[in-house]
Homo-oligomer: A and B are copies of this chain.
Amino acid sequence: MNKREKGWANIAEIAGEQGIVAMEGVQAVSPRLANLALEFGYGDIYDNDALDRKQRTLITLSSLITQGQFGHTLTFHFKAALRSGLTKEEILELITHCSGYVGFPKAMNALTVFDQTYKEWIEEQEYVK
């Protein structure tokens, strides 16, 4: 399995169907950026056991909340977090923890996005059954 194939395998495992669809969307606009994200992002970076999936998710979410990235990207990674096994309680606590480090406005915005995302996630899970 070469690096790009590993990237596809990892994104499927980490983000599920939504991950594949999103990356195919990037590929349709810029195959070059998609391939770099697959090879470097999902291939190289995730291909290391010093941190596990849940730990990587905490790091990613904290970075996105700090950056003020509150659109599709945050929704995407909240779903990947739920998929990786983080519970609703853990994600709510991550947002609360962030409030002391980035202030209330970003924490409140993250909470709004999570509330909506969690409802979608529950619906999607029930649809699957």
Residues of A within 8 A of B (CB): 26, 29-30, 32-33, 36-37, 39-41, 44-45, 48, 50-51, 55-56, 58-73, 89-90, 92-109, 111-112, 114-115
Contacts and interface: CB of A to CB of B under 8 A. Distances in A.
Given A26-B108, A106-B69, A99 B63 contact: no
Name A's interface SS: helix
Nearest to A70: B71
A39 B39 CA distance: 10
Q: What 8 A-B pairs come out closest when comparing CB atoms?
A: A50-B93, A62-B62, A66-B66, A40-B40, A59-B62, A101-B103, A63-B66, A63-B101
A32 B102 contact: no
Given A41-B104, A96-B36, A102-B103, A62 B66 contact: yes
